[in-house]
Structure 1
Amino acid sequence: MTRKIVRDLVAQRVLLVEDGNHGEYRPRPGEFVDVGVPFIRAADMSSGTIDFDGAGKINAIARDRIRKGIGKPGDVILSHKGTVGRVAIAPMDSPDFVCSPQTTFWRSLDPTVLDQRYLRYAMRSPSFMRQLEVLKGQTDMAPYVSLTDQRSIELELPPIVTQQVVAEVLGALDDKIAVNERLCSLADQLCAAQVQKASVMGVRRQLRDVLTLHYGKALPASERTPGDVVVYGSGGITGMHSRPLVNRPGVIVGRKGTVGAIYWASGPHFPIDTTYYVEPREVATDEILYYLLRSAPLAELNSDSAVPGLNRDEAYACQVNLPEKDSLETLSRNLRQRFSWMKLVHEEMKALAVTRDELLPLMMSGNVRVREAEKIVEGVV
């Protein structure tokens, strides 16, 4: 295994590493629009993908002024400020986009030396992440890895044929994960459309009539553990504990920070103190409330205090269209079946990701032969 310093690869024009514009070229607050060019931040990256739809958008004036950080399909994006170490790849059908100063794109300029698909896995490898971990701790401020520091990192570069094989084998797992994500997204959209259709002729009710909002509780970081929480829709995560606060699936509402964000926890969970958790009244189920709340204007109810928050009484006063009683039972049953299916698909995605992450260092080190890796992938894809 050959190790190459990134700055040498940059000097040899094998690799381009570039972050977003700073200073006068950076987009101004008034240049963010509803429809425009995605401006990618660390928050727009998760599970190895980029949320182009949810990202902030800049207008044509800002886009024309920017000279750095202009992304291309296939680029590997690294978050290097604040949230350090998220790695995502821009798909080949990605729109025109720009990297914020929080993110850096990495792009192979010579495919005979560095395979672009392999680059995403090299940047997820334990060796790469260990180097990032050391570099981000060099400042007393928020975690940060400068462009100069990024170029000091060493990449593991096997022969190009090996790179291509690693990318092909691990890419099969990522492709399956991406398919599952699209299927879950479509299922979620279908559920939302069914609830909306059933609500058109529904009864207008205040939220206080259909649910109770309970405060989450503080959970020290030392007590938080990875848990089986699958989140649909607007995303997010809650703290987990060996003794969950809520012993069933349910809806969580952002109370501070991500005010009004709606989360679905697929199993027992521990909503932390920046959230509310929802207890349905008899008139509606958790699944129906999840979609009704997503259409409620809760995010607009920020308090005027220094730390924005969602006041419970103001939330209770919000109104939603509750489907008629005759349709509630059938609708609830359909939603529950789809949620059970989505949970199974998410569990499969987790298993695929674990297999990929375990194979990555083994393949890069040569401890697992190509044919062995292919058999492992064939068994789970």
Structure 2
Amino acid sequence: MPERTVQLSELVGKNLLEVGAGRPRSVTADYGPLPILRVADVLDGRIETAEHVQAGIFDRRTLGPKVSQPGDIVLTVKGTVGRVAMMPLEGSIFSYSPQLCYFRPLVNGPLVPRYLYYWFKSEEFWVQANVVKGQTDMADFISLGDVSSLKMRLPSVAEQRAVSEVLGALDDKITVNERIAAASEALALALASPERWESRVRLDGICALRKVQVTPVEITEAAVDHYSLPAFDSGKIPAREDPAGIKSGKFLVQGAAVLLSKLNPEIPRVWNVLPEVGVPALASTEFLVLAPIGGVSSDELWSVAAQSTFRNELASKVTGTSKSHQRVRPAEVMASEVVDPRHFGADGQKIQNLSGTASAMRKEAATLSALRDTLLPQLMSGRLRVKDAEKIVEDHV
């Protein structure tokens, strides 16, 4: 089939998630409790969700029968427009918040599902989306009708599959790396679990709170590594940025440290960092910069500060009138007790090895992500041949 330009609505089945349309009705009677997907759960092509919708709650929290299947392409359409993910083939059925929609390419149709996923990340999609995207007083949005009316360059099924396989090889390796990193960190946390150790110490007995603050626009280096909450949430890799573009003051990170979020501490944002030599490292002021002392490594410090029991204790000490502004005072954090890592012995070395593995896997994943993002617009526009891209990818996976 020769290449042609087609409206998206001609290539997908009737979208079952028509935002704001249809009478609310429960699907929990058919499927049981369902994991509910929100905008925050769609991260760089992957799905992360833990909350389930119980019977009787579904109707109060969502509108209509919003249930997708593995293989559907998920798109955020309100708040943060344009996050996209492909439902895992081995995954379960999901329900949706009204800020998301999904697309299901026609069975045996001319559109390959994974190609549609990459198309939503392409320049062709964004050029059109930015034209039709609207804005309320609170957030950006794009209607389902507008998305469905967008037009896409549609090559042959064979070329779609070839493009999807090249980019998919990188994404699959990224996924493997992320799983290894997560498993390594889980093992490290298990070794430092409070259930295994009796000895406790105040946090300020094993680390110092660093408060050196800098104004990024005054930095003369061409680039800095910016450790922000969004960077943590999107892969635990700092964003390399032009300091002139960072408008607010930041903490200077000098040497190995642990960054502990004081904002909503029940959310697991504890970051074990080792800044790259020669590149200034800046941390959001929402983090506490903890420098290990007394012979404790940053890996061991992270392993005790990232324990869920410690986070829960900090969460009980927060101040603030709203969920988005709940913070724990630095003095409360430093006075709180954790497992004493100075007694770890051989387990301390195991924790350091596991942390090193997690860091290496994430750095490689970041390199692969950059390569994918470089190849994607070239392949989707047809400016780069698939065979040439395959040769490039072979050296990295």
Pairwise same-fold verdict (TM > 0.5): yes
Letter in 2 for 1:367: R
User: What are the superposed Cα offsets for residues 256-293 of structure 1, whole Å, 9 maximum, x if unpaired?
Assistant: 35666433253323121222111223163321221212
Alignment of 1:81-100 (within 5 A): 81-100=78-97
Q: Does 1:356 align with 2:372?
A: yes
In structure 2, C-alpha distance between the alignment counterparts of 1:280 and 1:62, rounded to whole Å:
46
* Contact kept? 1:213, 1:278, Cα under 8 Å: yes
Letter in 2 for 1:156: R
Relative to 1, partners in 2 of residues 1:299 and 1:22: Cα closer, same or farther, differing over 3 Å? farther
Letter in 2 for 1:276: L
* Contact kept? 2:260, 2:271, Cα under 8 Å: no
Match in the other structure for 2:67: 70
In structure 1, C-alpha distance between the alignment counterparts of 2:93 and 2:59, rounded to whole Å:
12
User: What are the superposed Cα offsets for residues 124-145 of structure 1, whole Å, 9 maximum, x if unpaired?
Assistant: 1111123333333554541111
In structure 2, C-alpha distance between the alignment counterparts of 1:17 and 1:119, rounded to whole Å:
17
Match in the other structure for 1:253: 260
Q: Does 1:61 align with 2:79?
A: no
* Contact kept? 2:227, 2:282, Cα under 8 Å: no
Alignment of 1:216-227 (within 5 A): 227=225
* Contact kept? 1:69, 1:99, Cα under 8 Å: yes
Relative to 1, partners in 2 of residues 1:153 and 1:52: Cα closer, same or farther, differing over 3 Å? same
Give the CA deviation at 1:321. Answer: 2.1
Gaps in structure 1 of 5+ consecutive residues: none
| TM-score normalised over the length of structure 1 | 0.82
Match in the other structure for 1:119: 116
SS in 2 for 1:380: coil
Alignment of 1:336-351 (within 5 A): 336-351=352-367
Match in the other structure for 2:274: 267
Give the CA deviation at 1:246. Answer: 0.5
Give the CA deviation at 1:39. Answer: 1.1
- Pick from 182, 204, 211: which aligns with 1:208? 204
Relative to 1, partners in 2 of residues 1:285 and 1:202: Cα closer, same or farther, differing over 3 Å? farther
Match in the other structure for 1:16: 15
SS in 2 for 1:227: strand
Relative to 1, partners in 2 of residues 1:233 and 1:135: Cα closer, same or farther, differing over 3 Å? closer
SS in 2 for 1:18: coil
Give the CA deviation at 1:61. Answer: 2.6
Sequence identity percentage: 30
Relative to 1, partners in 2 of residues 1:260 and 1:371: Cα closer, same or farther, differing over 3 Å? closer
Give the CA deviation at 1:112. Answer: 2.5
In structure 2, C-alpha distance between the alignment counterparts of 1:226 and 1:152, rounded to whole Å:
41
Gaps in structure 2 of 5+ consecutive residues: 244-250, 276-280
SS in 1 for 2:193: helix
* Contact kept? 1:69, 1:105, Cα under 8 Å: no
In structure 2, C-alpha distance between the alignment counterparts of 1:140 and 1:323, rounded to whole Å:
49
Relative to 1, partners in 2 of residues 1:232 and 1:364: Cα closer, same or farther, differing over 3 Å? closer
Relative to 1, partners in 2 of residues 1:201 and 1:364: Cα closer, same or farther, differing over 3 Å? closer
User: What are the superposed Cα offsets for residues 155-201 of structure 1, whole Å, 9 maximum, x if unpaired?
Assistant: 2211222112211222122111111111111111111111227x623
Relative to 1, partners in 2 of residues 1:237 and 1:137: Cα closer, same or farther, differing over 3 Å? farther
* Contact kept? 1:169, 1:377, Cα under 8 Å: yes
- Pick from 321, 338, 354: which aligns with 1:320? 338
Match in the other structure for 2:278: none
User: What are the superposed Cα offsets for residues 301-341 of structure 1, whole Å, 9 maximum, x if unpaired?
Assistant: 3214353211123223422221453x34x333333333333
Greater Cα shift, 360-369 or 181-190: 360-369
Match in the other structure for 1:151: 148
Give the CA deviation at 1:46. Answer: 1.3
* Contact kept? 2:272, 2:298, Cα under 8 Å: no
| CA RMSD of superposed structures (Å) | 3.6
* Contact kept? 2:24, 2:59, Cα under 8 Å: no
SS in 2 for 1:38: strand
Give the CA deviation at 1:105. Answer: 1.0
Relative to 1, partners in 2 of residues 1:21 and 1:285: Cα closer, same or farther, differing over 3 Å? farther
Give the CA deviation at 1:41. Answer: 1.0
SS in 2 for 1:276: strand
- Pick from 285, 296, 300: which aligns with 1:288? 300
Give the CA deviation at 1:23. Answer: 10
Alignment of 1:120-139 (within 5 A): 120-139=117-136
